[in-house]
Amino acid sequence: MRTIRTLPALLACGLLAGCVTPLDISNYQKVGIARMQGNRAFVPDPAFSQPAYFNISPQEVASSFGHLCQANYNCTYFADEDAYYLLQNFGAVPALSVRSHAVAIVDGRTGKLLKSPAKP
């Protein structure tokens, strides 16, 4: 009798697991997006609240490091309490974390590049 109740619960968990996106952005704020087709202009997210101790603005990050997102991909910018993260083609490629998926990571306090893109 117990196995009969357990089986539907396992099936439900399996179905739910298949619907969960592998990239968790709950600890990050969306900063903005740069559409790589056309003029590649950075469009800030109006809901982004820059931490007071960040010395570099999202526009400065886009101006200095936006070229690291290449080809015809969109580049979505996120931030946490430490850094900005540039994610190329966000949502199209599964990844385990923002940090591992980021094309570039820029320190919000210094503007220094912490992770540069992998060389081909």
DSSP-derived 3-state class of residue 12: helix
Residue 97 is predicted with a pLDDT of 77
pTM: 0.73
Residue 90 is predicted with a pLDDT of 76
Residue 20 is predicted with a pLDDT of 40
Residue 17 is predicted with a pLDDT of 42
The mean pLDDT value of the chain amounts to 77
Whole-number percent of the chain with pLDDT over 90: 42
The DSSP secondary-structure symbol of 116 reads P
Place of tokens 């994610």: 87
- pLDDT tens for 18-54 read 444 455 677 899 999 998 776 678 999 999 999 999 9
Closest by CA position to 51, among listed 98, 90, 107, 97: 107
